[in-house]
């Protein structure tokens, strides 16, 4: 999607994609990553997700990337934390103890900018990108994270009924993007009560990705 699309969504507060509570599938399956206390978790296209508050409260460090500065201002306001804001290359870096968020274009990120990460939590990034960008996103994510383990949550539904985002990402695409780098484990598929946006039957699928051995 064009950057202007997401900026307008946040400016107009059209953020139905934002969950008001910690994601239930994150709570159910995050421990499958087997992370040590204080591990650093990368959340691409993080918005102001409440999942960040849960990760911080659980003793993890968080690094995120987000296009909209409005979203990140709201995130820190909701966290009740005053960030230190600095210019970091092409990014505005919002920093507080245990958390670094880089505001800018995800595709401009480098491994040096985000630093070492132990795992990736992707609930809203892969599904936010249209077909033409998904493969590029996955490749870039692998490169800048040095193939860190991932917990991915996708949507599955009939894309002809509603256009997205969030987009439907089927098992075949997850395998296409990641199978050469990771050992993939399908974890769970859960129907969305009432369907996606109340318009189409939909499920959320959970994938665990760990480095191939």
Write out the binding residues for S-adenosyl-L-methionine: 10, 45, 66, 123
Binding residues: 10, 45, 66, 123
Distance, CA of 19 to CA of 159 (rounded, Å): 22
Instruction: Give burial (CB, 10 Å; 0-12/13-18/19+) of 117.
Output: buried
Distance, CA of 176 to CA of 198 (rounded, Å): 29
Distance, CA of 31 to CA of 69 (rounded, Å): 30
Instruction: Give burial (CB, 10 Å; 0-12/13-18/19+) of 100.
Output: buried
Contact 200, 158 (CB under 8 A): yes
């Amino acid at each position: 999607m064009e950057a202007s699309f997401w900026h307008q969504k946040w400016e107009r507060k059209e953020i139905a994609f934002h969950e008001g509570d910690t994601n239930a599938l994150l709570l159910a399956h995050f421990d499958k990553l087997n992370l040590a206390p204080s591990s650093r978790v990368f959340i691409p296209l993080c918005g102001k997700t409440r999942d960040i508050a849960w990760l911080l409260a659980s003793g993890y460090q968080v690094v995120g990337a987000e296009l909209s500065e409005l979203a990140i201002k709201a995130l820190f306001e909701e966290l009740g934390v005053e960030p230190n804001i600095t210019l970091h290359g092409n990014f505005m870096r919002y920093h507080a103890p245990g958390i670094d968020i880089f505001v800018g274009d995800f595709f401009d990120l480098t491994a040096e900018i985000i630093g070492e990460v132990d795992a990736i939590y992707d609930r809203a990034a892969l599904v936010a990108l249209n077909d033409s960008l998904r493969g590029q996103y996955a490749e870039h994510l692998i490169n800048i994270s040095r193939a860190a383990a991932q917990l991915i949550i996708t949507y599955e539904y009939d894309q002809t009924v509603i256009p997205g985002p969030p987009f439907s990402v089927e098992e075949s695409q997850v395998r296409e993007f990641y199978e050469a780098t990771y050992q993939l484990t399908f974890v769970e598929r859960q129907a969305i009560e009432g369907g996606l946006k109340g318009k189409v039957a939909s499920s959320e699928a959970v994938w665990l990705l760990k480095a191939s051995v």
